[in-house]
Amino acid sequence: MRTPAAYLRGIRHPEAFHGRGVRRGFFEGWYIKLVSVDRTQRWAVIPGVFRGDDGATDEAFVQVLDGLTGRSWYHRFAPDEFWASDRSFEVRVGRNIFDATGVTLELPQLSGRVEYATELAPYPAPGIMGWYGYVPAMECFHGIVSLGHALTGTLEVEGVPQSFDGGRGYIEKDWGQAFPAGYVWAASNHLDADPDASLVASVAIIPWMRRAFRGTIVAFRHGGELHTWATWNRSRERLLEIDDDAVRWVVTGPDGVLELAAQRTRGGLLHAPLRTAMHQRVEETLDARIRIRHLDHEGRVLIEGTAECAGLEVFGDTERLLAL
């Protein structure tokens, strides 16, 4: 079991490992996005660990998504090939290393070293989940390790050297018992109206005291300022529509009104944690486009534009999600 001290330390450091001392019914994964300056290379690399209810399905992994073609790979490792710090962002899976300085990869598709040329930009404490991050019984926790940073270095992509100098990176993570039964997730830090802007937005089914509610977390940084729409700061949804072609979402809160319209494109299949095992079930793209408009409470447009190279997932029981 995790000690109370370790639990409180995990709240203060969402980027670190939360599974030390947890032997059953747990997963943790870091989502690391790497995009070259010309955007011809768009990769998501996801290291992590899964611990099932009986120990028979325990495994470490590194997932790889080619965001341009939709191809994906899942590399399994023995559980003892996983190590992570519970005090900082430092993860090792086999000979693959991920930390606050960059990534070192030795995978069939990707090998080499990409470093972070600027400091990581985490969401301020206590994190994007607000006070919900203090609730031990939450099914799934979410953390933003970096809203955006510059890249430098070279990776061999299926044997061909590709430069990431001047590219952009993004890092987030999840941990807990299992992914939500239904959710929408979107993220991009390639907004035409502001090269330093970054958006991450998620709405999900949240189990709560034998019932469930629709939980929202949105962080949008532009013009050097960070804006948040979330259930915990009493933001509200004016609109949420999901169909085969698009997701349309409007939220209002202390930071004004945010309008999002994401175009759905076909992506690659990634594994995601259920309570029994890692299952291939989540389709994700890094080729979505999101129209964004942020207005103040008087209706004045603060920023408007299109986000490219966007990650987008629409998964699970979306009918129930919309009904909550």
CA dist 159 to 154, 156, 301, Å? 12, 5, 46
Please report the pLDDT score of residue 21 as a whole number.
87
Please report the pLDDT score of residue 282 as a whole number.
76
Q: Which residue ranges in the chain fall short of pLDDT 50?
A: none
Range 98-110 burial, b when 16+ CB lie within 10 A, else e: bbbebbbbebebb
Specify the DSSP element, H or E, that contains 35: strand 26-35
Please report the pLDDT score of residue 266 as a whole number.
72
- H helix and E strand count, the chain: 2, 22
User: Which token pair is 192?
Assistant: 């035409």
Tell me the pTM: 0.96
* First and final C-alpha spacing in the chain: 34
CA dist 308 to 42, 68, 120, 223, 260, Å? 11, 12, 21, 18, 13
Please report the pLDDT score of residue 274 as a whole number.
73
Number of domains within the chain: 1
Identify the domain containing residue 113 by its residue range.
4-323
Q: What is the mean pLDDT of the chain?
A: 94
Nearest to 211 by CA among 130, 303, 324: 324
